Amino acid sequence: MSKTEARTFYDQHPFDWAASDPSADIRSFVSPLLVRLIDGLDAGSLILDVGCGPGRVLGILARRGFRCIGIDRSRVSIGRATERYGRPGIVADNLELPIADSVADIVISDGVIHHTISPHAAFLENLRILRPGGRLYLAVYKPFGRYPFLYNAPGRWIRGGLRQKWSRPLVVLFAQVPYFLIHFGRTRGGRTWTQAQNLFYDYFVSPRVTFLSRSLVESWCLGLGVKVLMYDENRGASVHCFVFQKNAVTKKGGADISAQALNKYPFGETA
């Protein structure tokens, strides 16, 4: 997606599918590795959710009382997240975050950088805003499994069909309706048509998807003072997950901005 795009794909089709009910089991829409990370967070942590969408993860953090900020290039998504959960939100692109170096204790990038024009640059930008000793959670699409086939085979037909007015009803009838019925059955009626449609557009219609191997992602850490703390293949899912830690030793003369000392959010345009 172009950084200059006036109205983003996710303004038109927000990735809004997870339950906002506080009683919902977060394990039904958050990976086990991210649950483990959230459960172990310190109370004073400053968490930046980069590519937060309408607040699927931000809502969990807010309900647990963490200081968290949502960042997304979709103004519609940021509006929904801030209205629902009462946390600051920033409209910004992952490739050019209007945030100072070494600010965040935790950066969450849950299924985001594989939609950018440069996943590697987005990864480096997430590391830049992370303080020394801080951790980055990263979930990206696997280059193996059923999803690459689905995106590149039926997904190509779906994207082509949606470009033509005459063929859009055929996409709805032969693709969206079956997709909804599958999800409706799996969730025993818990998935609405709108939620299923949001998932459908994210998985099949997203204009840019890159599939990233474990070896490639881990090679990005070489020479950066970053180590892999945890990895989860997340078997059966379309993404695999990493937790990285930034080297705790700062460069001579560098400033380490702690979460406790940060009383304001001077991070550019907020919602």
Q: What is the pLDDT of residue 49?
A: 98
What's the start-to-end Cα distance of the chain, in Å? 22
69-93 pLDDT, tens digit each:
999 999 999 999 999 999 999 999 9
Residue range 43-69: mean pLDDT, rounded: 94
Q: What is the pLDDT of residue 25?
A: 67
Residue range 97-117: mean pLDDT, rounded: 96
Instruction: Say what percent of the chain tops pLDDT 90.
Output: 75
Task: Evaluate if residue 2 carries a pLDDT over 50.
Answer: no
Predicted TM-score (pTM) of the model is 0.86
Q: What is the pLDDT of residue 16?
A: 81
Q: What is the pLDDT of residue 19?
A: 62
Domain range 9-143+211-246, CATH architecture: 3-Layer(aba) Sandwich (3.40)
Taking each helix axis from N to C terminus, what angle separates 193-200 and 177-186, rounded to the nearest 10 degrees?
Answer: 120
Please give the Cα distance from 179 to 199 (Å, whole number): 9
Q: Which residue has the higher pLDDT, 29 or 225?
A: 225
Q: With CA atoms as reference, report the closest residue to 138 among 223, 25, 230.
A: 230
> pLDDT averaged over the chain?
87
Q: Sketch the domain layout of the chain as residue ranges.
A: 9-143+211-246, 146-205
Lowest mean pLDDT among 34-48, 93-107, 224-238, 255-269: 255-269
Residue range 140-159: mean pLDDT, rounded: 95
Helix (H) or strand (E) holding 178: helix 177-186
Q: What is the pLDDT of residue 187?
A: 84
SS3 185: helix
166-196 pLDDT, tens digit each:
999 999 999 999 999 999 998 888 889 998 9
Cβ pair 137, 31 in contact under 8 A = no
Q: Which residue has the higher pLDDT, 187 or 259?
A: 187
Task: Evaluate if residue 246 carries a pLDDT over 60.
Answer: yes
Q: Which residue has the higher pLDDT, 113 or 8?
A: 113
Residue range 136-147: mean pLDDT, rounded: 96
Task: Evaluate if residue 145 carries a pLDDT over 70.
Answer: yes
